[in-house]
Amino acid sequence: MKQKIIYMADDDEDDRLFLSDAIRKLNQEIKIVEASDGDDLLHLIETENTKDANILILLDMNMPRVTGLEALQTIRANEKIKHIPAVMISTSSDKQLIQKAYETGINAYIKKPNNFDGFMKIAEALQTCFLDFEQSVK
């Protein structure tokens, strides 16, 4: 069975903590790699050995230095990692930004919750939709 890795980029440390806790509550074996912005995320993805892993990228929309959209554009332009599913989790409800995220290649957009139960529901959905299946590189 392949290792499961989640790359999580969010400048809000509390949100990273809540989501990490919710994911670990469901599955202790998932490796979570945290970044505080898109630039750090891109560096981590490029330097880690992820060849034999099921990977999921979680992005906040609004981050300093490199935004979630900018990081997503770089990911989708890179042949080695463009196949990795990416989910944007953000407080933004700007329809134009959300549309741009889908046009850029986001797999799903989820509005950030304001309580732990909401983060648990997101963790359950991520597990079901992205992490329970073997990924294949095309």
Residue 9 in domain: yes
pTM above 0.85, yes or no: yes
Q: 118: domain range?
A: 3-131
CA distances from 27 to 23, 56, 94, 120, 137 (A): 6, 14, 32, 12, 24
Residue 82 forms part of a structural domain? yes
Query: Per the domain annotation, does 138 fall within a domain?
Result: no
Residue 65 placed within a domain: yes
Q: What is the CATH number of the domain that holds 24?
A: 3.40.50.2300
The pairing of beta strand 53-59 with beta strand 31-35: unpaired
Strand arrangement of the beta sheet that strand 31-35 belongs to: 31-35, 3-9, 53-59, 86-90, 108-111
Nearest to 38 by CA among 84, 88, 95: 88
Q: Is residue 136 part of a domain?
A: no
**Helix or strand or coil: residue 51?**
coil
What does the pLDDT look like over 21-63, one tens digit per residue? Answer: 999 998 888 999 999 999 999 999 987 766 777 899 999 999 9
Is 87 inside any structural domain?
yes
Establish if 71 belongs to a structural domain: yes
Domain count of the fold of the chain:
1
Percent of the chain clearing pLDDT 70 (strictly above): 91
Question: pLDDT, tens digit, for every residue of 18-30?
Answer: 999 999 998 888 9
Q: Is residue 137 part of a domain?
A: no
Helices and strands (DSSP H and E) totals, the chain? 5, 5
